[in-house]
Structure 1
Amino acid sequence: MGRNTRKRRTPLATKAIAASAALVLGGGGLLWAQMNASAHESNNSAQNYTKAAAASSVATISCPDVGQKLTNVPWKARQGVAMELAKLDKQITEAYARLASTRQAQANDANFVQNAIVGPLKEKRAATIDRIRIDITRVGGRFDSSLAQLAACTTQAANQTTAGGGNNNGGQNNGGQNNGGQNNGGQATAAPSASASAPANIGGQAGNGPVAADFVDITRVAPNVLAKPQKQRTASTGTFTTRCGVNANKNHNTDNVIVAPGVANGAHHLHDYVGNQKVNAFATNDSMLAAPSSCQNQSDLSSYYWPVVRVQDGSQDFDQNSDGGGKEGNVGKILTPQSAEIKYVGSPAAKVVAMPQFLRIITGDAKTTTNGLANANAHWSCTGFESKVQLTEQYPICPRGSNVVRTFAFQSCWDGTNIDSANHRTHVAFADPASGVCGNGFKAIPQLTMRLVYKITPPTLQNGQVKNAYAVDGFPEQLHKAATDHDDFISVTKNNLAAKIANCINSGRRCQ
């Protein structure tokens, strides 16, 4: 059956506070076996094209996300569990690479994927999950034995995956700012296929996205941004802006110290870092306190980091042959934002309390292709359209004179006790989208917002192909979908800056 390419608008939905779901904390992935037919073509001017294959020519393997189930891990076990979850991610990455390098064997043997890739993957995952059990029970924690069932990965057709037809119908809530997404007729977007004899890296995102259906002309999208909650008399109306640059000094790495501490290349994709300049997989609270900052306010040692955006115009970058880069499907020239605005804003319903030192927050879900859209918090738009259109499941094609805008609004409610949680979600939450009130006894904190602007030559769509695509870096099995965009933050301040930010916001001032 061919892929349904018709597009339809989905109803705007409210984002649920899914406290038990995880972000990049390991174990879940969608593996694409690329078979038959040419998928990536280049013309004489080296412009890249990516073509979607028919769903029937693409096999998928869906691996359950183990990390999202681990909501109650004892502190003494968290380091060990994080290391094991990172191994689950690495196992999926390795299996994905094997899928991409064995196309001829797959074409010759219908059982190859199951016997040579899926079966061994299950065995590796089972052993890793058992080590997680040992880590937890060794320190007196309780382990749900049903998690052992998550070792198996299943083969699916492309249109059976959660990609493109997620739990939330594309609707998102950014702590009071509701923005709708788009759904491609409820169908998953097929990955580009590759000929059996093609090399493993066939340009674009190494053959795994983006595809034409991942882009939309923003001028053709109906307005979908809802009004913000009405401010109450108790609202905190001030703002605090911190100026930390755009990562012009190219401070990059493929680690993620929040979800994979002590694991090099734990993210499997490249991040831009601004603010704290000494953050990698091995950073500690003490090392971050001693590090320099790119922020003008040198009391702001916080780490602000996000996946890089790359343009697929046939160019390469420094990590073309590196882990987290070209080796894992993240290829093309890295784009530095033209501007990066980092601002803390208040609550429409309450005064805010100061963020605690070393608070960790991750917003969005790097694995929506596997997990669905319940925790997606991606927002893509264009200058001149931000107040009207925000996209979650597609990248915008901006008109002449307009630039791509990528925005984030972090969770603005805190449990009042913990600076992190086992799945990196349950200690923070979004406020009610209608009222802006924090539920479950949570306290309002300054809401971190980011606005990144990129100058990108608009991609063009021709006969089901996209020319000069751009995409966010991600786990290779996530196909570089727009919805996988996410952002990371560690609050590190000195000279009482956290209290000053809260006081500024509560008093209604504009500070920096």
Structure 2
Amino acid sequence: MGNGNRLLALLVCLVLGAGLAAAVLGASRAAGPRHTGTVGGRVDLASVPPDPAPPPPGPDASTGTVTVDCGRNEEGHWNEDNLVVSPGLRAGAHHTHAYVGNLSTDALSTDASLSAAATSCAGGDRSTYYWPVLRRTDRPGGRAHEGAAGHGNTGEILPEASVRVEFRGNPVGKVVPMPRFLRAMTGDAVAYTAPTDAAVRARWGCSGTPGRSTTGYPRCPAGQLVTRTLVFPSCWNGLDAAAPDHRSHLAFPSGQGVCPQGTFAVPELRLSLAYAVAPGVPIALDSFPEQRHSPKTDHAMFVDVMTDGRMDELVACLNEGRTCRT
């Protein structure tokens, strides 16, 4: 082979090699991160702006609040199921959820079984409220679900220091009852690899700074609690208790509280969780492996199992502007 042919062959090899390397790199990027380490450092709330002020209530606003005392999962009700997203599939969540309310909830629950079960909520509310557990990763833990959840979700499960289940009205008008057995979710369990943060809903904060929050893990001073706040969509299409995508039957109102055309305002569910975490203790939210425990992936689910009478009482309290508690 002459020198010219050798040079030509070498050039072809270099071009093909570069193309192959680019293809491999592109495929790797498209597939997303594969390691399971926790992403993101702690956020100092002093560096974030104050939360936006809520819209002022209009003349027809439903300004009441209803707080349901459901305890803080003293029963240790955990599993890797997700009745809303993957009903009938054991361990379908691939991470562990903590529950308050209905004590029977798992992947095999039905409307009938939920209606007949015991509950941790005062007043008999059999609804189910659940979210991914928060762990401290410097301790292995020895209880169920602390070493068996898999998918990189290991460590001592942090108990909730408090759980607040609250329903609020709408700043524009009156609310209508939720349908019994409504399924709802908030947040985005795949937010870390999603193209945008459009579905990120959870806010993290510190108990001593209630007016500031972040989508990252907060750095809280000693003596303060780490907080998570998860607000659910509150505009219902008036037809469906569930949807194939688990979302399209419900929508969020605008920043001024206006529901999209063709939807009706229902009570807004707000879950507020708090944890005693000493400064410097490493924490991680349970997640899918490729989501790397990102705090942006925080999410929660709800199944309404209130009786029609109890739901009517809740709606009346909100629409009449009263403060109620069960």
* TM exceeding 0.5: yes
Which deviations, in whole Å up to 9, do the C-alpha atoms of 1:143-185 show, x marking residues without a partner?
xxxxxxxxxx931189xx6xxxxxxxxxxxxxxxxxxxxxxxx
3-state SS, counterpart of residue 306 of structure 1: strand
| Amino acid of the structure 1 residue aligned with 2:108 | F
- 2:3: which partner in 1? none
Distance 2:276 2:88 in 1: 35
Superposition deviation, residue 315 in structure 1: 3.0
Q: TM-score, normalised by structure 2?
A: 0.88
CA distance in 2, matches of 1:390, 1:455: 17
For 2:130 and 2:30, locate their aligned partners in 1 and report how far apart those are by CA, in whole Å.
35
Runs of 4+, deviation exceeding 4 Å: none
String of CA shifts for 1:329-384, please: whole Å, max 9, x gaps.
01111011111011100000010001110001100000001213110111000012
- Which structure has more RCO (C-alpha within 8 Å, separation ≥ 6)? 2
Residue 301 of structure 2 corresponds to: 488
Of 124, 135, 140, which aligns to 1:310?
135
**CA distance in 2 between partners of 1:504 and 1:244 (Å):** 19
- In structure 1, the residue corresponding to 2:246 is in which secondary structure? coil
Q: What's the counterpart of residue 209 of structure 2?
A: 385
1:320 Cα deviation from its structure 2 partner: 4.4
Deviation digits for residues 380-410 of structure 1, max 9, x if unmatched? 00012121x2111x10010122110111111
**1:458 and 2:279 matched:** yes
Aligned to 2:252: 430
Q: Deviations over 1:413-441 (max 9, x none)?
A: 101111111111111011111x2111122
User: 2: CA distance between counterparts of 1:329 and 1:316?
Assistant: 14
What pairs with 1:334-345 in structure 2 (closer than 5 Å)?
A: 334-345=157-168
2:230 equivalent to 1:357:
no
State whether structure 2 residue 29 is matched by structure 1 residue 156. yes
Preserved contact between residue 378 and residue 408 of structure 1 (Cα < 8 Å) = yes
Question: Which residue pairs with 1:13 in the alignment?
Answer: none
Residue in 2 that maps onto 1:217: 44
Give the aligned CA root-mean-square deviation in angstroms.
2.2
Equivalents in 1 of 2:146, 2:302: separation in Å?
27
Letter matched to residue 27 of structure 2:
T
Aligned equivalent of 1:201 = none
Alignment of 1:3-14 (within 5 A): none
1:208 aligns with 2:36: yes
CA apart distance, 1:495: 6.0
The CA distance in 1 between the partners of 2:131 and 2:301, in whole Å, is 6
Among candidates 205, 221, 228, match of residue 406 of structure 1: 228
Gaps of 5+ in 1: 1-109, 115-152, 162-189, 192-206, 460-467
Aligned residues: 303
Q: Distance in 1 between matches of 2:114 and 2:61?
A: 33
Partner Cα separation in structure 2 for residue 275 and residue 310 of structure 1: 21
What residue is the counterpart of 1:276 in the other structure?
A: 102
Report the counterpart of residue 102 of structure 1 in structure 2: none
Equivalent of 1:395 in 193, 217, 222? 217
What is the distance in 1 between the residues matched to 2:69 and 2:27?
46
Separation in 1 of the partners of 2:27 and 2:235? Answer: 37
- SS of aligned partner of 2:51: coil
Structure 2, unpaired ranges of 5+:
1-19
How many angstroms apart in 2 are the aligned matches of 1:236 and 1:448? Answer: 14
Q: Structure 1 residues 446, 320: closer, same or farther in 2, change over 3 A?
A: closer
SS at match of 1:304: strand
Looking at structure 1, the residues matched to 58 and 308 of structure 2 have their Cα atoms a distance apart, in angstroms, of: 31
SS in 1 for 2:29: strand
Name which of 49, 67, 71 aligns with 1:241.
67
Asked whether the equivalents of residues 202 and 231 of structure 2 are also in contact (C-alpha less than 8 Å), the reply is no
Q: Would you say the 8 A contact 2:48–2:214 is kept in 1?
A: no
Amino acid at match of 1:360: R
Q: Is the 8 A contact 1:317 1:334 kept in 2?
A: no
| Residues in 1 aligned to 2:48 and 2:85: alpha-carbon distance in whole angstroms | 37
Partner of 2:126: 301
- Structure 2 residue matching 1:489: 3-state secondary structure: strand
Q: Which amino acid aligns with 2:28?
A: T
CA contact (8 A) 1:278 1:292 kept: yes
| Partner residue, 1:51 | none
Larger radius of gyration: 2
- Using the size of structure 1 for normalisation, the TM-score is 0.57
